[in-house]
Amino acid sequence: MKALSKQRQILISYAIDSTEIVDFAEKLEKILNYENFKVSREILKNVPATILLETQRRIVESFDFIIMLLNPSYKYLSEQKIIETYSGDIFSRISVKKGQLSKIIPVIVSGNRSLSMPDWISTRFYLDFSSEAMFEQNYEDLICTLNYKKYVEPLMQDFEKEFYATEVFQEIHLKGLILTEISYFNEMITLPFALNSKPSKNWGIFLSRYINNGNSERVLLSIFHDTIQISTDNLFDYYQLRAKLLAAIEGANEAHKIFISNFNELLDN
C-alpha cells in the first residue's frame, strides 16, 4: 500500500525491558520507511526539566503521528514517574481531546491492555502486535491510519457533475480502521473505516440493510465520501464487528451490481 506523496513524520516511542522490544522497534521502523514514511525512534528516558516544554513543542510540530509500543515497563515508567520527566509527560500534553486521539497510536507489543496501556491514554481501542499472527491481522489498520487524509469538500459545480453522472458499478473494499478518528460522545462510540473509493448513495442504502440484518443491537451507519462511520452504544468485540462489516460490504456490492444491471435493462427496453 502506498503512502501519501508527502512523507508523513512518524515517531516510535518505546521503553526497553528486553532485546525483543528493541528488535521490534527496529523492524517496525524499517517496514514503515519502506512504506514511504519518515520514521524516528525515541526511548523512554530522562528528559531535563529545563527543556521539557521545548521538547513538547518539537514533538508536536515535527511528527504527524506517535506510535507508542506499549509493554508493562512503558506503563510503569509513564504512570509512576520514577524519573525526573519522561515521554509520558510529553505525550499526555499533546493535543489529545477527551475521548478522541489526535496523534497517538497505541500499539501493545507485550502484556495486555490492563498491564501495558497507561491510564492517561483515554481510548478502548489499540493495535495488538503482541504476536506475529496479531501483527499480520492488524498491520493494515496501522497503515490505513497513517495514510488517512480528511476529505475536503469539492466546489458546488463538482457536486452538480456528480449528480447528473450515470451510475456505474464499482466494487467497494474496506481498507482499514482509522484509529486516530475514533470518537466518543454521550456514551456512543463512533468507529471510522476507510474505503477504497467513494460509494454511491444506492450502495449505502444496501449496506445499511445488510449491517443491521440479524443484529439484536442496531448500529447507526453514515457514509462520508470514502469513509464509513459506525456508531453504537453497546460494547462489542471489534473483530466480530469488523467481520459483520466485511460481510455487509460484500452483500451491498452484490445487491448494487444487480440493481444497476436491472436498471440498465429497463433503460434499454
Q: Report yes or no on 2 lying in a domain.
A: no
Q: What distances in angstroms separate CA 94 from CA 32, 64, 141, 148, 189, one per listed residue?
A: 23, 11, 22, 19, 22
Residues 132 and 198 in one domain: no
- In tens digits, what is the pLDDT along the chain, a chain of 269 residues? 444 457 899 999 888 777 888 899 999 999 999 999 999 988 766 555 555 556 666 666 778 888 989 988 888 877 765 444 455 555 555 544 444 456 889 999 998 888 888 877 767 788 999 999 999 989 999 999 999 877 666 555 554 444 444 567 789 999 999 988 888 777 788 899 999 998 988 898 889 888 877 655 667 788 888 999 988 776 667 888 888 899 999 999 999 888 888 776 665 55
pLDDT value, residue 98: 40
Candidates 44, 34, 36, 35; CA nearest to 66 is 44
Residues 116 and 204 in one domain: no
Count of domains observed in the chain = 2
pLDDT value, residue 15: 80
Residues 106 and 163 in one domain: no
Cell 448500529 sits on residue = 219
pLDDT value, residue 3: 45
Answer positive or negative: Cα dihedral of 42, 44, 48, 52: positive
Cell 491510564 sits on residue = 119
Residues 139 and 32 in one domain: yes
* Beta carbons of 207 and 219 less than 8 angstroms apart: no
* CATH number of the domain within which 250 lies: 3.30.1360
pLDDT value, residue 99: 42
Q: Report yes or no on 192 lying in a domain.
A: yes
- What is the domain range of residue 255? 156-268
Candidates 224, 265, 266, 219; CA nearest to 245 is 219
**Alpha carbons 229 and 141: distance in angstroms, whole number:** 15
* CATH number of the domain within which 48 lies: 3.40.50.9100
Give me Rg for the CA atoms of the chain: 21
